[in-house]
Amino acid sequence: MPLYRTFIVDDEPSIRSGLRMIIPWEEYGIEICGEAANGADALKFIEEHRPDLVICDIRMPVMDGLELIRSVHERGMGTQFVVLSGYDDFRYVKEAIKYHVENYLLKPVNVDELRQTVHQVTKKLESELLRELRDTEGRESIKSNLLNRAVHHQISSYEFKSKLEVVDPRLRLLDSELRVAVIDFYSEGLGGHRSLPPETLQAIQRICATNLDPELAVSFMDYTGRVVVIFTVRDGTPTTKQIQNSLQAIYELSPGGSGVHWLLTVGNTVNSYKNLHVSYQNALHIQQYHFYYREGDVIFYEDIMAKRNPGGVSVTVDYFFIEDALKGGRRSELTGYLEACFERLSLKDTDPGAISTMVMEIVISMLRVLRAAGIPPAEIFDDPNRLLKTVHELRDMQKLQQWLHQKLNAALSALELRSKTTLSRVTKELVAYIDQHYHEDLSLKTLSRELHFNSVYMGRLFRNETGEVFSEYVNRIRIEKSKLHLQSPSSKINDVAKAVGFSNANYYCAIFKELTGMTPTEFRNQ
């Protein structure tokens, strides 16, 4: 791929054509980007396209070669010139040298001399490019270090002020209000931040530098690979909307990656560079609320604080219901319960930690039922030993709900298959009878007469196959059924207890609290 561009200027078409063919330009990393027949046309092209090297004749109509070189020089363009002439005139040589012309070649052009001249020019261009690159990289490195120390509160005011002017005089961080934005990345597949390759991160930095007004914002990469943008706010500019538009433009222009997601957060406004670390830390803190936003949305600290309830919203997981629904194969009831839990937590004042906690509690209930049924957790979960990490890596609430729904369905299917293949006819009949007659006086003795089996045999078989003692199972079913009655505000506790088979209301309340962690009244009022 050509590194440098060369432009040819001569009033003779045969010379222009011959120069294109006389040497293999591509071997020197050069492409011929155009040609002109006079200096005036050439100047227009050079101003617009900025070629690296111009090979031009001295005597041409409209504007001669020396006048062209003088005009380009006065405009401060760094274009290199090689002059061609049919005359060995020292006056031309002397004038050309004054403008740092690389060489003065007589026509007809000697191929070896032209090759040597082009080689020298490319070496000079390479040296200038490397020097410019080193200077730029050096300044950027110092600036990045200075700003990193500022947002991490690791630099004195004196040092910050003294170095800032040297690094970039355009930065107006000393006399402005400031707010810090953080652009972070995560990948569910890789399970962590900064999963973009270094070249992609560098490309994003270049897009930031190109698209951000240097008087309103400065970008750099922090110690852990996040892209950080500091906005300077003067007289209300940039506004929140302008900051949002700037960050979303960077998001839309930047190269993506499979499975990689963006976190765009903006900290609070601070009145001094001494408090940059506060805005930076707050931008990092609100990353956890990305649960509630779409990909590419910009999250502002003040929006989260305005919507956040310090008490939070929590959901008490009904272990009994989940485990009973799993054992009973009640798929639709379990799905409805799960949707209700997430709907309650979908309010934007909920701490994301509460969501992860609720999901883990449901997962633990699933594991208890699976183990009691003799089903290895590995049949449902890819890696049972890292379930907590898996839950925390699913940062999108919709994906977390989908994941949990999928696992519950898988558990239900596995339990259903196991019950069909392992439960004996006796146990199946017991379960069916309890489900229909839970409100009656139930005991193994009464059921043994009803089903014509020995009571001791039935009790042992039931416990071995379900993992529960008969009386505990009956109590669980009764408590679950009582919850339907408790949904009516007018229902009395005594009546509810009797309706589900408890002759003593106090005993009913004690069992209810033992299984659910709350009293029937607390359950109704939640």
Cα separation of 60 and 56, whole Å?
9
Q: 230 with 180: CB under 8 angstroms?
A: yes
Tokens of residue 29, six digits: 């990393």
Residue 62 burial by Cβ neighbours in a 10 Å radius (0-12, 13-18, 19+): middle
Question: Could you tell me whether strands 217-221 and 227-233 are parallel, antiparallel, or unpaired per DSSP bridges?
Answer: antiparallel
> Measured between alpha carbons, how far is 404 from 391 in angstroms, rounded to an integer?
9
Instruction: Report the first-to-last Cα separation within the chain, whole angstroms.
Output: 70
Instruction: Write the DSSP string, 365-398.
Output: HHHHHHHHTT--GGGT-S-GGGHHHHHHH--SHH
Torsion 167-172-176-180 (CA) sign: negative
Q: What is the CATH number of domain 4-109?
A: 3.40.50.2300
User: Which CATH architecture group holds 425-525?
Assistant: Orthogonal Bundle (1.10)
**Tokens in use for 264?**
């765009």
C-beta of residue 411 within 8 angstroms of C-beta of residue 419 = no
Q: What is the pLDDT of residue 39?
A: 92
- Bond from prior residue into 108 cis (ω within 30 degrees of 0): yes
Q: What does the alpha-carbon distance between residue 338 and residue 336 come to, in Å, rounded to a whole number?
A: 5
Question: According to the model, what pLDDT value does residue 192 have?
Answer: 45
What's the pLDDT at 342?
Answer: 80
How far apart are alpha carbons 259 and 105 in whole angstroms?
Answer: 58
Calculate ∠ Cα 188-190-194, nearest 5°. Answer: 95
Instruction: Tell me the angle at which helices 470-486 and 455-466 cross, rounded to the nearest 10 degrees.
Output: 70
- Distance, CA of 311 to CA of 432 (rounded, Å): 44
State how far the Cα of 448 lies from the Cα of 463, in Å rounded to an integer: 15
Q: Could you tell me which of 297, 397, 422 has the C-alpha nearest to residue 347?
A: 397
CA atoms within 13 A on the CB side of 179: 21
Positions of the chain with pLDDT under 70: 1-3, 87-90, 92-94, 129-138, 166, 169, 186-197, 255-260, 291-292, 307-317, 346-354, 384-385, 388-389, 392-396, 419-422, 467, 526
At 413 the three-state DSSP class reads helix
Give me the DSSP letters along 102-113. Answer: SEEEESSPPHHH
Phi first, then psi: what are they for 59, rounded to 5°?
A: -95, 115
Res 358: pLDDT: 77
- For the chain, helix (H) and strand (E) counts, in that order, are 22, 11
Q: What is the pTM of this model?
A: 0.46
Q: Where are the beta strands (DSSP E) in 120-176?
A: none
**How buried is 209 (Cβ within 10 angstroms: 0-12 exposed, 13-18 middle, 19+ buried)?**
middle
Separation in Å, CA 387 to CA 287, 377, 455: 22, 11, 41
514 DSSP β-pair partners: none
CATH number of the domain located at residue range(s) 142-289 in this protein: 3.30.70
Residue 279, pLDDT score: 95
Which pLDDT value is given to residue 137?
A: 59
For the chain, the structural domain boundaries read 4-109, 142-289, 319-422, 425-525
Tokens at 200, concatenated: 């992609």
Q: How far apart are CA 65 and CA 60, in angstroms?
A: 7
